[in-house]
Amino acid sequence: MADPSTRALRRATLVLLLAALIWGSMIPVLAALAEHYDKWLLSWSRYVLGLPVLWLAVLLSTPPAATPRPLQPGRLLRLGAAMTAFSVLYTFGVANAHPATAAIVLMCGPIWATILSRLLLRAVPPPGFYVTLVLVVCGGILVVLGTPGRTAGGLGVEGGEILLVIAQLCWSWYSIRAQQWLADRGQMALSALTSSVASVLLAVVCLVVWASLGLDLPTRAPTLLEGGMIVWIGVLGVAVAVLLWNTGVSLVGVPVASLFSNSAPVFAIGLAALMGFEPSWLQLAGGAVVMGGIAQLQIRQMRMARAARRTG
């Protein structure tokens, strides 16, 4: 039977890859929905649709054995604000950055997560982490550069890139502090509480945008396919993926978990291929580098856990 450390690594690998798979599927689905629906309304509706699933999971789950610490509204508000800031900054960042440059910046997410974890937690990454970090970032950039139809030499800085970096820092900060402040309530309650606050704050943001810039309100009811896609991005994209992400972070920490997020475009390539879009050789090579980097780190960690068990 595998020791607890090995089981935790296997569980983390499973939940984080599933989260990346879900987030990868969001890329083509959101792109299709954005052609007919306002992106602000889509961002808010994702949280609203995901909340019932999260709270139902909380009600059906086994409560923590120990009584959790009392909730601190200030901390809960900060966590929800970090999630909201991520959504808003991500939206503005993507809208005001060159698509290829924005994608490359997002591929560097594990770097920012590592830096922030080091500053907040004094966390020391596991052996082999930095090799994997280089592989995952470089592989992710290859995926971006290999996108079919991308204009050659079409990279440039347009201002939104810094917003994307700040958005990633907000998400990493949320991931770290949520575990410090709410982990004693369980990952389901942690995800439900923070997502609930974020949904309220995002509603306020949507109202402000509506009053100042206006929103493109739907002029017709969603088709059956569109309705299914909207439910998909809410139930899976928020409820399930956020729960999986927080579970993975609780097991291996933010820096290692962030490496898995770079596999989301790899899954997006696979889904696009199933839809009839042929990936380029550069995308396939980049995807192999990303997945290979993650695999070598996890295998190394499992070997170290088994060696420690034998010597212990």
Residue-wise pLDDT for 118-142, tens only, equals 899 887 888 888 888 888 888 888 8
**pLDDT over threshold 80, residue 4:** no
pLDDT in tens, 213-235: 777 877 788 889 888 888 888 88
Q: Residue holding tokens 């950039």?
A: 141
- Entry pTM: 0.84
The pLDDT tens digits of the residues spanning 47-93 come to: 888 899 999 999 998 888 888 999 999 999 999 999 999 988 887 78
Q: What pLDDT was estimated at residue 51? A: 92
CA-CA distance, 112 to 106, in Å (whole number)? 10
The mean pLDDT value for 23-30 works out to: 77
Give the pLDDT confidence score for residue 1 in this predicted structure.
44
Closest of 186, 184, 194 to residue 62, by C-alpha: 186
Are 293 and 135 a contacting pair, CB within 8 Å? yes
Residue with tokens 């575990």: 179
Mean pLDDT for the chain overall: 83
Using CA atoms, how far apart are residues 163 and 86, in angstroms rounded to an integer? 9
Q: Which are the contacts of 213, defined by CB distance < 8 A and separation ≥ 6? A: none
Confidence of residue 245 (pLDDT cuts 50, 70, 90): very high
Neighbours of 220 (CB within 10 A): 7
pLDDT over 60 (residue 154): no
**61-66: long-range contacts at Cβ-Cβ below 8 A with a sequence spacing of 24 or more?**
61/186, 61/188, 61/189, 63/186, 64/184, 64/185, 64/186, 66/184
Domain ranges of the chain: 4-60+70-311
How far is it, in rounded angstroms, from Cα 245 to Cα 57? 15
How far is it, in rounded angstroms, from Cα 55 to Cα 96? 35
* Pairwise CA distance, residues 28 & 15, whole Å: 21
The answer to whether 206 touches 40, Cβ cutoff 8 Å, is yes
| Contacting residues for 295 by C-beta, under 8 A, at least 6 apart | none
